[in-house]
């Protein structure tokens, strides 16, 4: 598909600096882009590093970012991220359509309630008592357990496993390999042996949640494990039993949340954050990558480090740690001088 830069400017309400009639055929990252493609710069650092060297025909960037030395045509906008999403959508291939119907290899219990316009793929298994909402798409090799409830307009990619009595809201997207409702990890030691604690609760996922590939969300010991409306979960996340995740949270790859911890609304957990059990993480908390959260966190804080602490304090600690080799040498020098002075005093 060929589109002029001027047409893209109209699409994103931007201003062209250069040739508005140049043809754009696709999108790419700033380091990979070639002639005919459009890329974007979202922050000043990337502008300084890559603008001059890009081979793209055009660059989307904010009004206040310099493109010093850039030979491409420029498309100035208020929000480059949002604008580039629109441009990428414009060039994206048509989405794959899944027509309504049930594949002949699907195994669906007689009492399952299927909504209107559902699409059920090959080798899907839906157990007795389950209910599937209107226009849901369930792709091959997915399992839906007994008495599970799935709302309308959901998309379950291949290989999803949803255990019994789980509840899924509307417009939920679940990617390949996700396991929802596996037993929580609970054992007591009885006579020197690990004895399993029954996990008889459920999982509740509210509307407009997206769950990345190979995420595991355990069922509660009692009650429910809860994922709030609009929350987005990246790949390879583990959420333990009885965890409560609030609304509009972001949970990035390889995060682990131990049982019975509560996250408020608008919490962000960056990659590889570890959260201990039975904690309370307040609304609007942001945890930097690899933070280890071991105590309750008040709302609105930005935290980092192990154990996690306010970001400015953690940064100071990192500066001090990096100064330790020099400090050690200085201390050794002072020790040698002090020893020499003590020896001299003894000889006087």
Q: CA–CA separation, 31 vs 183, rounded Å?
A: 45
- For the chain, the distance separating the N- and C-terminal CA atoms, rounded to the nearest angstrom, is 93
Cα distances (Å, whole numbers) of residue 176 to 14, 93, 139, 151: 37, 21, 9, 19
Alpha carbon of residue 67 to chain centroid: 30
Establish whether the linkage from the previous residue to 307 is cis, with ω within 30° of 0: yes
Nearest to 281 by CA among 302, 266, 297: 297
Q: CA–CA separation, 275 vs 181, rounded Å?
A: 20
Is 278 part of the annotated catalytic residue set? no
Contact of 16 with 38, CB cutoff 8 Å: no
223-262 core/surface letters (b: 16 or more CB in 10 A; e: else): ebbbbbbbbebbbbbbbbbbbbbbbebebbbbbbbbbbbb
Q: CA–CA separation, 211 vs 169, rounded Å?
A: 13
Contact of 134 with 153, CB cutoff 8 Å: yes
- Catalytic residue selected from 146, 157, 241, 278: 241
| Residues comprising the chain, all counted | 348
Helix-then-strand count for the chain, H and E = 5, 40
* Close Cβ partners of 50 (under 8 Å, ≥ 6 residues apart): 30, 31, 41
Catalytic residue list:
241
């Amino acid at each position: 598909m060929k589109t002029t830069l001027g047409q893209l400017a109209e699409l994103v309400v931007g201003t062209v600096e250069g040739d508005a009639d140049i043809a754009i055929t696709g999108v790419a990252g700033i380091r990979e882009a070639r002639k005919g493609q459009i890329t974007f710069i979202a922050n000043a650092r990337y502008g300084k590093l890559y603008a001059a060297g890009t081979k793209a025909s055009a660059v989307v960037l904010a009004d206040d970012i310099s493109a010093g030395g850039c030979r491409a045509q420029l498309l100035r906008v208020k929000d480059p991220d949002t604008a580039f999403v629109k441009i990428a959508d414009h060039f994206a291939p048509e989405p794959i359509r899944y027509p309504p119907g049930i594949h002949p290899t699907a195994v669906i219990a007689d009492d399952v309630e299927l909504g209107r316009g559902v699409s059920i793929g090959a080798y899907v298994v839906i157990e007795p008592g389950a209910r599937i909402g209107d226009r849901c798409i369930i792709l091959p090799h997915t399992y839906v357990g007994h008495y599970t409830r799935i709302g309308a307009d959901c998309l379950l990619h291949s290989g999803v496993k949803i255990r019994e009595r789980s509840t899924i809201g509307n417009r939920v997207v679940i990617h390949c390999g996700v396991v929802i409702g596996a037993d929580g990890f609970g054992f007591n030691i009885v006579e020197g042996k690990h004895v399993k604690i029954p996990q008889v609760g459920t999982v509740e996922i509210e509307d407009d949640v997206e769950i990345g590939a190979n995420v595991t969300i355990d069922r509660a010991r009692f009650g429910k494990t809860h994922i709030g409306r609009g929350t987005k979960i990246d790949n390879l996340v583990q959420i333990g039993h009885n965890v409560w995740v609030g609304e509009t949270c972001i949970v990035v790859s390889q995060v682990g949340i131990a049982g019975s911890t509560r996250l408020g609304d608008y919490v962000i957990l960056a990659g590889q954050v570890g959260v201990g059990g039975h904690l309370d993480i307040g609304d609007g908390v942001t945890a930097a990558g690899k933070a280890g959260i071991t105590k309750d966190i008040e709302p609105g804080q930005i935290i980092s480090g192990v154990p996690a602490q306010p970001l400015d304090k953690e940064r100071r600690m990192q500066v001090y740690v990096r100064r330790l080799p020099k400090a050690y040498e200085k201390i050794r020098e002072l020790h040698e001088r002090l020893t020499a002075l003590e020896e001299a005093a003894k000889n006087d």
